[in-house]
Structure 1
Amino acid sequence: MDEYFGGEGVCLVEWADKALPYVPQPDLEIHLQVAGEARLASLVARSPRGAACLKDICLPC
């Protein structure tokens, strides 16, 4: 699994808590929520790398 998480790309893992301790701690968490006909996404940075990613994708935050 190291090749998935060791590179420069993005790796998304659904239900990562079910795979502990085999996956690293997240840099960024995405929480999805149903809101009537719409969907809401909240993003939480869990590391400096995640904060940098969030800064690049979220305008304005």
Structure 2
Amino acid sequence: GGVLDKDSIQKIASLPSIDKVRAKIINAIQFNASQLVRILGAPQTQIVRVFSAYVEKDQQQ
């Protein structure tokens, strides 16, 4: 480490608190987990349609 200049100190001061960063991470994990639960809880035909759409998309590329 060295001496920080004014711009570096301002950048550090503008960073969110560790609690805010933790909250953002937890929200992202919970959001993805809830999406997974919805997908797994969907009727199997919907899951097949989603996979079919991905296959068709890959074939078009």
TM-score, normalisation: structure 1: 0.19
Q: Which has the larger radius of gyration?
A: 2
1 or 2 for the larger relative contact order (CA 8 Å, sep ≥6)?
A: 1
TM-score, normalisation: structure 2: 0.19
